[in-house]
Amino acid sequence: MGDFVRPEVVRLPLSGERWIDVKKRLNAGESRKMFARVVKDMPAGATPTLDPEQVGLTKLVAYLLGWSFTDDDGKPVPFSVAALDNLDTGVYAEMIKAVDAHEDAQDVARSAEKNGQSSGIASSATSSSPSDATGASIGSVN
């Protein structure tokens, strides 16, 4: 385990043979930006007030690199914040749950590494390949 975060892609499975590609870990800058986007107000010495519209969204935007989603005609839909906003609420919730579980698994694995323990804990169904045959997995964050 080094001092710097290497960019690595992990594929997380979703229901219906869908998947999302996410960053294995966020770096310090990405973590700060994610926190800053979700906080609405942070008075000194008080609990921060969160922006309810940003809760969940900030984490998806920070982690998400691509997905297998298609439109009604079967054409790949590139990842964007606008596309996230147009998702079915159930699909959106499933993505948040998958990213939360991935983040938790990475935290446990890093903690075990720091304590000198070997850990077999990892995100489920990972893949080092960030794209499928159609190239639908990698998109840009708008």
The predicted-structure confidence for 99-117, as pLDDT tens digits, reads as follows 999 999 998 988 888 887 6
Per-chain mean pLDDT for the chain? 83
Report yes or no on 33 lying in a domain: yes
| Residue at 85 is within a domain | yes
Contact 65, 9 (CB under 8 A): yes
Question: Residue 8 has which token pair?
Answer: 């690595």
- What is the 8-class DSSP label of residue 15? G
Residue 26 lies in a domain: yes
Q: Is residue 71 a contact partner of residue 82, using CB atoms and an 8 Å limit? A: no
Q: Which residue has the tokens 């609405």?
A: 40
| pTM higher than the cut 0.95 | no
Residue 93 lies in a domain: yes
Domains held by the chain: number: 1
Sheet of 64-67, strand order: 9-13, 19-23, 64-67
Count of positions (residues) in the chain? 142
Domain membership of residue 129 (yes or no) is no
